Amino acid sequence: MLLFSVSRALLRGAQRLELHRNQNVHRWVAPTLREFRRRREKMGPEAELPRSSHSDWNYSAELFAFGKRLHESFDPKVLQQAFTHQSFIEQETRKQAAVGIEQPVLGVTDNRELIAQGDRLINYYVEAFLLTALPRLPRQFVASIREALTSDTQLAHVSCHLGTKDIIMAAEFPIGEPLLASTLKAIVAALHRSSGDEQCFLFVRDFLCGQLNQRDLHEYLDIPDPLQTLREYCKERTLGDPEPRLIGNVGKNTLLAAYHVGIYSDRKLLGTGYGESQIVAVDEAARDCLRQLFGTELHAKPVDFTLTLPDCARHLGQRTSGKVETRQ
């Protein structure tokens, strides 16, 4: 009974305290907040503003912090040039001309030259890395992987996650994929000028080639007819013509039919595959053969991301060819 009395007393005290709190809130507060919300919804979302519009913006500090985040040593002037696009130069020139300055002096240079240099460096380094890390993969497919890794979409993805979006100086806003991709190319060229070949290669290896980590390499390969591709590969290697053979089947003429097909060359089994029909099984078997021959099996060793520039030096500058061929 005593416990019940104490509980009722505490409950009454809490109710009085809550009533006292509510008395301090004026009756006009809730309607005002609702009106603010209605007006905000009517106006729509606020326009996205660049980071440089904030009062605490310090561009020099941002450039310094960018290099420190990546643990790279950049020449400050070259790095600033890498982030300065031609559209920004033209925009600032028009602004100064509008206030009567006939020959404006901006003190910065656009990054067109750096973009062109960075594009060449990225392609050379990525190709050299792939040729070294995947020695059995034909150059036609090396080129496919390189094009995927150096596409504007992939470069923009890497560039955005490196934190370039807020530092880019351009007339366009929000920053689109082409600007993000071209800025990353300019950054690679700036690093090459600031720290040399070795650091530039490591940067490309870690941030671009590293996108291959835990990925199936065949996602990047366009092989519409695996059996025909296998025949071309065997012809290049002077191997016997691949021959599909039915190893076994179950549930024939039913909805749950399954076929097991193997592909042989010179009386040797190259690979096997399963499918709900013989056509599908042959296709899967041909893909399995290509994985075995290319060294890209699902259980293969991961790509070696510890390769350095001396390891890949002999492949630098080599261009990919358009036909299926094998490197010796």
Q: Which helix (H) or strand (E) holds 230?
A: helix 226-236
With a cut of 80, say whether residue 175 has pLDDT above it: yes
What is the location of CATH 3.30.160.20 in the chain? 224-294
With a cut of 60, say whether residue 49 has pLDDT above it: yes
Q: What is the mean pLDDT of residues 142-168?
A: 95
- The pLDDT tens digits of the residues spanning 89-112 come to 888 888 888 887 777 777 788 999
- The pLDDT tens digits of the residues spanning 220-269 come to 998 999 999 999 999 999 999 999 999 999 998 898 999 999 999 999 99
| Rounded Cα–Cα distance for residues 241 and 231 (Å) | 6
Lowest mean pLDDT among 47-61, 69-83, 124-138: 47-61
- The pLDDT tens digits of the residues spanning 16-43 come to 555 455 556 678 888 899 999 999 899 8
With a cut of 70, say whether residue 318 has pLDDT above it: no
Q: What value does the CA radius of gyration of the chain take, rounded to a whole number of Å?
A: 31
55, with CB counted inside 10 A (0-12, 13-18, 19+), is exposed
What's the CATH number for 224-294? 3.30.160.20
pTM (2 d.p.):
0.80
- AA identity, residue 73: S
Give the pLDDT score at 18: 54
| CATH of region 59-218, choose from 1.10.443.10, 1.10.1520.10, 3.40.50.300, 1.10.10.60 | 1.10.1520.10
